[in-house]
Amino acid sequence: MSSSTLLKGLTRLRCQIFETAYNPTNARTGAKYLRARLRGPSMVKYYPPVLNIAAVARDVPELEFVDPKEQQRLEDVEDRKRRGKGMVKKAKTKADSRRAAKKR
């Protein structure tokens, strides 16, 4: 047997013994990145938790926090209602919903 055949056999045997991937064609498998430690958990621990004003306001109502984003949203809803662009009234009976379907 030639030396290249022996080396290929040795490589295959080494991969079986040490349970590594046998890749005789040197195809790109991404094994290096799949074996690497995940970065996500340590990155999450690095940054402090985000303060959620709405959750704090719900948990401690006596502090009377004002969430500026929620305040702006409520003002926008009121503005849309004044211009006639608000939500449609919910049908109370089946007849109401049929009338709305006919108007379309």
Summarised one tens digit per residue, pLDDT across range 60-71 is 888 888 888 889
* Percentage of residues in the chain having pLDDT higher than 70: 94
Q: What is the pLDDT of residue 103?
A: 59
pTM for the whole structure? 0.40
Task: Name the token pair of 13.
Answer: 């045997």
The percent of the chain in helix, strand and coil, each rounded to the nearest 5, is 60, 0, 40
Task: Name the token pair of 19.
Answer: 């349970």
Between the alpha carbon of residue 26 and those of residues 6, 10, 23, 32, 36, the distances in Å are 18, 16, 5, 13, 19
